[in-house]
Amino acid sequence: MDIPKLPLGKALEWLENWLTTYCGPLFDFIATIIGGMVSAIEGALTFLPALVLIVLIAALSYWIGKWRMALFAVIGLLLIDNLGLWGPSMQSLALVLTASILAVVIGVPIGILCAQRNAVRNTVTPILDFMQTMPAFVYLLPAVSFFSLGVVPGVIASIIFAIPPTIRLTNLGIRQVSEELVEAADAFGSTPTQKLVKLQLPIALPTIMAGVNQTIMLSLSMVVISSMIGAQGVGAYVYRAVSQAKTGDGFEAGIAIVIIAILLDRLTQNALKPKQR
Amino acid sequence: MTIIEVKQLTKVFGHDAGRAIPLLEQGMSKEKIAQELKLTVGVNKAEFSIEEGEIFVIMGLSGSGKSTLVRLLNRLIEPTGGQVLFKGKDVVKMNPEELRQFRRKNIGMVFQKFALFPHRTVLENAEYGLEVQGVDKKKRTERAMEALHLVGLKGWENHRPDQLSGGMQQRVGLARGLANDPDILLMDEAFSALDPLIRKDMQQELLELQSRVKKTIVFITHDLDEALRIGDRIALMKDGVIVQIGTPEEILIQPANKYVERFVEDVDLSKVLTAAHVMRQPETVRPERGPRVALQLMRDSGIFSLYVVDKANKLLGVITAEDAAQALKDNKSILEVTRREIPRVYPETLLNDFFELISETHLPVAVVDEADKLKGIVIKGAVLSALAGNAVPEGEGS
């Protein structure tokens, strides 16, 4: 006998409609916050002339890393400017930074809860697996229907795609703090909060930062996909080049993304390492 | 005064461990409980009390439950049954806030692998206990510095723990335990991770420290020599049960059962027993009493020499019967005939360290403290019988 096909898709569409109808104000509120954040960051990045910002970023790179990193920042960013991609690159950067900041703000507390309660971890882990393996395109669609086209659904999709490493590595970092140290903190009468702030978070910090680094890289990888639902930026250039089969344009925009990616990666990786010159 | 009293303290590991309590009370064995209930008995009805200011050693081989037992005292491990009374108050019944205050104010801990916070400096480590209490920065730095001075780490405050050697790291651990001035210090195998020479130094320093700060110390160790060296009293554990509690001497001379006996049979008593263990009350005379009184005293107690001490009991020398008789004849004072070059040892000198001294002299060896005050005397026979005490334990006769 035939088993009828389960109406899984139908159920989800019904849920989507229900949410759009009844939770509209909530989504509007979220959209306002995220949209505001993106424009604020973008405004800050484009407020200064490109050359001034390049100098500032180079100085930051020198302070965090070595002179080689500063050199790379100068050359790379000048190249982006030269290709005429400065504006869209900053738009994309604003999207990436917004998504990353929100992912960290949401992800670290969830990671802490996971580390403190096995029940939370056991619930969250399969959800994270689901979020990471479900093709990103699939949750672009509900994001669009909740938040309409533009940069906001792009940020939402990026957060969903990029948040798992922050949660996972925060959980891992805290759980890796050795039993004896936790025991010592307890033995001297620490409250759970003191234990977290004075012991677990500082020791877990390098691991958490590795997660944050991954989160930033993943949200950067969403730049092109976000452009499919109307997010502006250098991703949109890539998307347009692909749809019009313009190899050269695509390559130029791609290079800009790569430069930003390398800079963000090195900056976040070295931010916590002891200075070595 | 009793500071900690432990009653029927029991820890059973496993699901719904409370089930095991009535069975243990009926006397069911650890093995049977493991078999039938799939539960592990960690500590089985431990019962002891710790006096203020003593070093109480809990000793046993690995797996005997000693580390569990010490963690039951400050509830790093929750007891399954029984009581821990701190100055009469049951620690087991404390709510989280009371327990926190108890840990902050009354009971410190030093760990086997030091458990220093790697992201904090030596000073910040020592400050930790005060910091969580909310003591202000200036005051806690002051007290942490005091503690660091006490353990001999002056000048190392701003180093990170990983820049220090093992012995120094454990001094930081000790300073951290002492900084908030607790009544009790728990030391869980505190010196076991150190190499033997450093370990001996640390034991010695702990004893010196103890004589200055007068803390109650609960010291866990698997090393019998260590237990004998530093313990005022020792509790010997096996399979979660305390098999004997006593002074080092009692444990050695009167082992409670075959297990303890086997445990201690290899101990070289001469490296454990000290002059204090074998010394006896000396017969003394003050110089102003005169030779006639001295002679009379010797005659009365049937001995041939007297120790000459001043009013403060400071040892001046020894006078023999012949000397006294001669002095009487020549009309000399006691001081004029006192022999001042006499062998002396400290109470904590090991028998092993003065065998030679005692074999070369005809007089008993005087036991004096740092101020040269006479504490007792050691005669050859006492040393021999103390050493023999191990070979033929009382009541065991072979």
- Residue A5 included in any domain: no
Position A6 in a domain = no
In a domain, A17, yes or no: no
| pLDDT at residue B305, as a whole number | 85
Structure confidence at residue B364 (pLDDT):
84
Beta bridge partners of B350: B274
Rg from Cα positions in chain B: 26
Minimum mean pLDDT range among A71-80, A174-183, B106-115, B333-342? B333-342
DSSP string, chain A: -PPPPP-HHHHHHHHHHHHHHHSHHHHHHHHHHHHHHHHHHHHHHHHS-HHHHHHHHHHHHHHHS-HHHHHHHHHHHHHHHHTT-HHHHHHHHHHHHHHHHHHHHHHHHHHHHHHH-HHHHHHHHHHHHHHHHS-HHHHHHHHHHHH-SSHHHHHHHHHHHHHHHHHHHHHHHHHTS-HHHHHHHHHTT--HHHHIIIIIHHHHHHHHHHHHHHHHHHHHHTHHHHHTTT--SHHHHHHHHHHTT-HHHHHHHHHHHHHHHHHHHHHHHHTTSPP--
d(CA B99, CA B84): 12
Amino acid identity at B122: V
Backbone angles phi, psi at B33, to 5 degrees: -65, -40
Interchain CB distance below 8 Å, A187 and B176? no
pLDDT at B397: 30
The answer to whether ipTM exceeds 0.85 is no
Q: CB-based contact (8 Å) between A198 and chain B?
A: yes
**pLDDT on residue A204:** 94
Closest chain A residue by Cα to residue B112: A180
Which of A184, A190, A191 is opposite residue B115, by nearest beta carbon? A184
Which of B72, B76, B169 to probe the A interface (max A CBs under 10 A)?
Answer: B76
Q: Look at chain A and report how many structural domains it folds into.
A: 1
pLDDT 10s digits, A196-244: 999 999 999 999 999 999 999 999 988 888 888 888 888 888 888 888 9
Cα–Cα distance measured from residue A110 to residue A174, given in angstroms and rounded to the nearest whole number: 12
- The confidence score (pLDDT) of residue A1 equals 64
Search chain A and give the residue with CA nearest B70. Answer: A187
Residues of A in contact with B133 (CB under 8 A): 189
Number of H helices, E strands in chain B: 17, 16
Sign of the alpha-carbon dihedral angle for A239, A242, A245, A248: positive
Q: Say if A158 falls within a structural domain.
A: yes
**pLDDT value for B398:** 28
Domain assignment of residue A219, given as a range: 26-276
- Entry pTM: 0.76
A183 touches chain B (CB under 8 A): yes
Mean pLDDT by 10 residues, chain B (398 residues): 93 90 87 89 93 93 90 94 93 95 94 92 94 93 92 91 91 92 93 86 89 91 88 92 89 82 76 79 86 87 86 88 86 85 85 83 85 86 72 32
Say if A1 falls within a structural domain: no
The predicted structure's pLDDT at residue B396: 31
Query: What's the CATH number of domain B50-270, 3.40.640.10, 3.40.50.300, 1.20.58.340, 3.30.230.10?
Result: 3.40.50.300
Q: Tell whether domain B276-387 is in CATH 3.10.580.10.
A: yes
Q: Provide the pLDDT confidence category of residue A274 given band limits of 50, 70 and 90.
A: low
* CATH code (residue A261): 1.10.3720.10
Domain boundaries, chain B: 50-270, 276-387
Residue A277: pLDDT band with limits 50, 70, 90: very low
Domains B50-270 and B276-387 share a fold: no
* pLDDT for the residue numbered B390: 43
Residues A19-37, mean pLDDT to the nearest whole number: 86
User: Cα–Cα distance between B27 and B166 in angstroms, integer?
Assistant: 44
